[in-house]
Amino acid sequence: MTTYYTKDHEYVRVEGDTGIVGITDYAQSQLGDVVFVELPEVGKAVKAGGEAAVVESVKAASDVYAPVSGEVVAVNDGLPDSPATINEDPEGQGWFMKIRLADKGELAGLMDEAAYKAMIGA
Amino acid sequence: MARGARMVPFAGYSMPVQYKDGILTEHLWTRAHAGLFDVSHMGQCFVHSDSWEKTAAALEALVPADILNLKPGQQRYSQLLGADGGILDDLMITRSAYDGHEGWAYLVVNAGCKDADYTHIAAHLPAGVSLRVEADLALIALQGPEAVDVIAGLVPGIRTVPFMTYHAAQLDGVWLHISRSGYTGEDGVEISIPAKDVAAFCDRLLADPRVRPIGLGARDSLRLEAGLCLYGHDIDTTTSPIEADLKWSIQKRRREQGGFPGAERIRRELAAGPARLRVGLLPEGRQPAREGAEIMADGRRIGVVTSGGFGPSVNGPVAMGYVETAFAAAGTSVTLIVRGKELPARIAPMPFVPHRYFR
């Protein structure tokens, strides 16, 4: 199980041929209190770098981009009713969707944890 | 940054958008206890002459409110109007109650407009009436149901001062001009204080467990729920006070007599109704509709959202904007275009959260 990161602050935690996608703790801290989330339909095909979800805080709306290409095989159904979970546990209970990876080779273009931490200055 | 503040540039100032608690918590804290806001970026000035009649007449040539009938210490909301009746800025005007300052009015204007306001005011004052800009005064606001209790612990006289009236005080040698007013819909005060004394005074307030510092983010969500306009968004040089649903701020004598810039347009809009009106909007569901979202009805565009977001006390999205007057009645169904998608909403009365002013 390895987690990869994008420069737009999404993470993808790879388990077998599935990637669990969400936004990082840094992203939620920058957004502030999340009040709305819109998830894609299960079965939707997403492209790496393409819009996959919407997250809105009191301050602003933000697109969430798919870190990898593939089919959305599950979404976190409870999230729209408790968007604060994204602030409380972004990389655990606050996951957005699971994507069946179309091309594991795309992962090589993402950052590992050390590179991501270096980028955000953590 | 002190107290966990996250700073953003605003009107040429570096301002705290939020402190460590975040906007949601800061907002709810203010509605339940007392929130402290630093609004020193706003413009404070005096217009003065040797008599109230002269000062009031000079101001009435610039704003549509009745200034002449203000009682000493009384404050009124108004707008600086352009010749076409568009709003150059909105402001607070207070009649001084200080001995020897009978001909003085105290004005608070918006940060983003203040330089233009001062130029405009100075250019229109008649001989014998002067503008004095105060650069060395800070302005803070303490808002919420416990705000007056907190201030009354230092200045007991504030307790009985009604909404839109000021109270002058000395606290350990520090001059305070305390007005019972604010921008949140809650009871509370705005305090003008010499800039050199403000930090120590704020520390003293923040030592009270009922008081927390509140940033610009919650200031915006609080005023939005209270249905109050933000200049440059909900009102600007293209909107008249009548379109902006600020008719209440133009007193009877001025409506009848005119004598202010744009009086003809305002009289016409009062008689026939304006073509568009500022209204409240409640989107269905949880998604906020923000500034710029188009408002549709009957398959066409009938208006635009000028402020919108999530209302923490409403616990849902709230917005305001302008619609064609035929669609302005509360309860009217409309559609908002939010991020390319249609979002059902209805016209709603404002404020979204009841005002709790002390009258």
Structural domain contains residue A60: yes
Asked if A58 has any chain B CB less than 8 Å from its own CB, the reply is yes
Residue B102: pLDDT over 50: yes
Q: What is the pLDDT of residue B2?
A: 61
> Which residues, in sequence order, are CB contacts of B189 under 8 Å at separation 6+?
B141, B142, B143, B147, B148, B151, B158, B178, B179, B180, B181, B182
Q: Closest Cα of chain A to B309: distance in Å?
A: 6
Instruction: Say which of B23, B25, B286 has its CB closest to residue A59.
Output: B23
Measured CA to CA, the distance from residue B84 to residue B266 in angstroms comes to 9
CA torsion sign for B65, B240, B230, B345 is: positive
Query: Across residues B211-227, what is the average pLDDT?
Result: 97
**How are strands ordered across the β-sheet holding B75-81?**
B75-81, B87-95, B104-109, B43-48, B130-134
Surface of A (14-43) touching B: CB under 8 A: 32-33, 35-36, 38
Amino acid at B323: V
Q: What is the pLDDT of residue B1?
A: 42
Domain extent, residue A67, equals 2-102
Find the residue in B nearest to A33 (Cα): B24
Instruction: Say which of A36, A57, A58 has its CB closest to residue B286.
Output: A36
CB contact under 8 A, B221 and A80: no
Structural domain contains residue A87: yes
Structural domain contains residue A33: yes
The answer to whether residues B23 and B218 touch, using CB atoms and an 8 Å cutoff, is yes
Instruction: Say which of A35, A38, A80 has its CB closest to residue B310.
Output: A35
Structural domain contains residue A110: no
Structural domain contains residue A58: yes
CB contact under 8 A, B18 and A32: yes
Residue B73: pLDDT over 70: yes
Q: What is the count of structural domains for chain A?
A: 1
Q: How many CB atoms within 10 Å of residue B236?
A: 16
CATH of the domain at A17: 2.40.50.100
Mean of the per-residue pLDDT values for chain B?
Answer: 96
Chain A residues near residue B317 by CB distance under 8 angstroms: 36
Query: Across residues A27-42, what is the average pLDDT?
Result: 95
Domains of chain B: 2-41+136-225 (3.30.1360.120), 43-120 (3.30.70.1400), 247-348 (2.40.30.110)
Chain B residues near residue A57 by CB distance under 8 angstroms: 23, 310
Q: What is the pLDDT of residues B338-352, one digit of tens each?
A: 989 999 999 999 999
Q: What is the pLDDT of residues B103-116, one digit of tens each?
A: 999 999 999 999 99
Q: Both tokens of residue B217?
A: 């983010």
> Which residues, in sequence order, are CB contacts of A115 under 8 Å at separation 6+?
A5
Measured CA to CA, the distance from residue A80 to residue A75 in angstroms comes to 10
Q: How confident is the model at residue B7 (pLDDT cuts 50, 70, 90)?
A: confident
CB contact under 8 A, B287 and A83: no
How many contacts, defined by CB atoms under 8 Å, are there between A and B? 42
Asked if B19 has any chain A CB less than 8 Å from its own CB, the reply is no
CB contact under 8 A, A33 and B339: no
Q: What is the pLDDT of residues A42-72, one digit of tens each?
A: 999 999 999 999 999 988 889 999 999 999 9
Structural domain contains residue A115: no
Q: What is the pLDDT of residues B15-24, one digit of tens each?
A: 778 888 889 9
Surface of B (185-224) touching A: CB under 8 A: 217, 221
Find the residue in B nearest to A62 (Cα): B339
Structural domain contains residue A85: yes
Measured CA to CA, the distance from residue B265 to residue A15 in angstroms comes to 67
Instruction: Give the mutation candidate from B6, B224, B287 for the A interface (greatest A CB count, under 10 A).
Output: B287
Q: How many CB atoms within 10 Å of residue B170?
A: 9
